[in-house]
């Protein structure tokens, strides 16, 4: 019996935190990585320089309540990824 989506990688379906080279912070469910980049689902974004709240406040809220899905799907080029961690590691 085969595994479901076994070709999508070990992070498939896991909520991850990505910090970009531009300083943005993205939280979403990891779908897959291919030559185009990383595909995330149900993504919330904290932009570098957001005046409304700090990155720490953003991550605290996401850790407690989950991401607010501002983007149903987002494809991020691998070159734009500075760090990639599971939400539970933050």
Strands (E), 1-90: 15-20, 25-34, 37-46, 71-76, 81-86
| 41-88 confidence digits (pLDDT tens) | 999 999 988 878 899 999 999 999 999 999 999 999 999 999 999 998
**CATH for 15-89?**
2.30.30.100
The pTM assigned to this predicted structure is 0.87
pLDDT range class, residue 1, cuts 50, 70, 90? very low
């Amino acid at each position: 019996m085969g595994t479901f989506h076994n070709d999508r990688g070990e992070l498939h379906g896991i909520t991850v935190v990505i910090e970009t080279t531009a300083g943005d912070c993205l939280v979403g469910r990891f779908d897959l990585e291919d030559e185009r980049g990383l595909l995330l689902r149900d993504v919330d974004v904290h932009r570098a320089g957001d005046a409304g709240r700090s990155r720490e406040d953003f991550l605290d809220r996401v850790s407690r309540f989950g991401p607010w899905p501002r983007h149903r799907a987002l494809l991020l080029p691998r070159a734009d990824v500075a760090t990639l961690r599971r939400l539970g590691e933050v």
